Amino acid sequence: MNCLFIACNHGVQYTLHAASGFDGLYCTQQTGGLTRGMTLRAIQPAEAIIAEPDWMAAFLAGLARDDLAPATLRGYRYDLRHFLAWHRSVQDSAFAIEGLAEYEIIAYRQHMVAAGRRPATVNRRLEALRRLCRWARGTGVLAADAARDVRPMRTVRNQQPAGLTDIEVYALLRAAGASSRGLAARNYALVQLMLQAGLRVGEVATLRTADITVSDRSGIVRIRHGKGLKAREIPLNATARRALRQYQEERQGSDKDAALFASSRDTALPVRTIQAVITSLARRARLKRATVSAHTLRHTFALGYLRDNPGKLVELASLLGHDSLDTTAIYTRPSRDDLAADLEHSHLNVDR
């Protein structure tokens, strides 16, 4: 049996037994204004957290030279560490990249499927291994690409992503405006910006005060390093301008290079904190119809834009920062509610 550690804010650790060490849950108690209750996660032993293979730094440096975004590099590193933890749990010997074989990658994929991981998660982790194998093949570490013929999981996207209804949007905004400890203006501006401009959470986290230009009749938010390191500008409507202006008035005197959204200690809000803020606000707003995340606000923006501007797919792709219209087209697909309504109105929907 492997051990599972329970870590609490009080600095106390408890030990439980679990069948799987790295895929198990861990528990960290947070009682601040952001979250309440218990969150579970697996805590690795100190040596597992610190130890990292020598090739990892060289691999990530190669990706950085290819101009991959820092967030992408962090994602690959996280996913590869997950693979290494799995490998450590099923093999007695230490992992050696030169010995990586196709059957190991297939076994890892099947492990994730059996653990109930979503297809998107499985495919993302497999992509990290594909990148690693291509790099190792190119540098001569691997004689053959072990991941080349490993198939990803099939994903079916026949329905549009879930967004918030107007009533849910109003409830979320009320919760943001009622935030305690002097965070009302910040949280309200944060939610409004994501709803009115459709930004990715990673883009919001990197915004600086100088990236926002607001006047009485116009406004712009500049994304300097979007997905794929692409820059773009999104106009700000009156609602977003008003929320941002109120927030900036509270932060008078802040440097132009300072983070736009900062904590009470005036440090930039990282991605996970922004996600936690949105999740906490959704809980306070009692939004239970669907899981609400920061990305749900981006979906809500896109669905609302097409509802107000039917057929303007090219314009929406430009606002969202999509390279391909195929990516944007997911918002034109029918929702589950649309399909249910169509079947309710079917002429065959009759009893004897």
DSSP string, 268-289: BPPHHHHHHHHHHHHHHTT--S
CATH number at residue 103: 1.10.150
How many other CB atoms are there within 10 angstroms of residue 133's CB atom?
A: 22
For residue 145, being part of any structural domain is answered with: no
Each residue of 154-205: pLDDT tens digit?
Answer: 876 667 788 999 999 999 999 999 998 778 999 999 999 999 999 998 889 8
User: Which one, of 189, 307, 310, 182, lies nearest residue 259 by Cα?
Assistant: 189
- Same domain? For 320 and 201 the reply is yes
Q: Of 138, 154, 187, which closes a domain?
A: 138
Strands of 212-214's sheet in order across: 212-214, 219-223, 232-235
| Interval 8-28 mean pLDDT | 41
Cα–Cα dist 144/99, whole Å: 10
pLDDT of residue 253: 67
Q: Comparing C-alpha atoms, which of 179, 158, 116, 87 is closest to residue 336?
A: 158
Structure tokens at 294: 């920061």
User: Which residue blocks in 207-324 are alpha helix, DSSP H?
Assistant: 238-250, 271-284, 294-308, 313-320
pLDDT single digits (tens) 231-280: 888 999 999 999 999 998 888 767 788 888 888 777 888 888 999 999 99
Domain identity same for 179 and 320: yes
pLDDT of residue 46: 35
Q: Map residue 212 onto helix, strand or coil.
A: strand
What rounded mean pLDDT belongs to the chain? 81
Same domain flag for 100 and 236: no
Q: How many domains does the chain have?
A: 3
Q: Are residues 204 and 118 in the same domain?
A: no
Residues 300 and 197 in one domain: yes
Q: Are residues 222 and 291 in the same domain?
A: yes
Q: Are 69 and 229 in contact (CB under 8 A)?
A: yes
Residue 156 lies in a domain: no
Q: Which amino acid is at 332?
A: T
Looking at the fold, whether 263 and 127 belong to one and the same domain comes out as no
pLDDT of residue 23: 46
The answer to whether residue 294 is domain-embedded is yes
| pTM listed for this prediction | 0.65
pLDDT per position as a tens digit, 19-37:
344 444 444 444 444 444 4
Domain shared by 275 and 297, yes or no: yes
Q: Where are the alpha helices (DSSP H) in 91-160?
A: 102-114, 119-138
**Do residues 229 and 95 share a domain?**
no
Q: What is the pLDDT of residues 193-207, one digit of tens each?
A: 999 999 998 889 889
Domain that holds residue 81: 57-138
- By the 8 A CB rule, do 197 and 244 touch? no
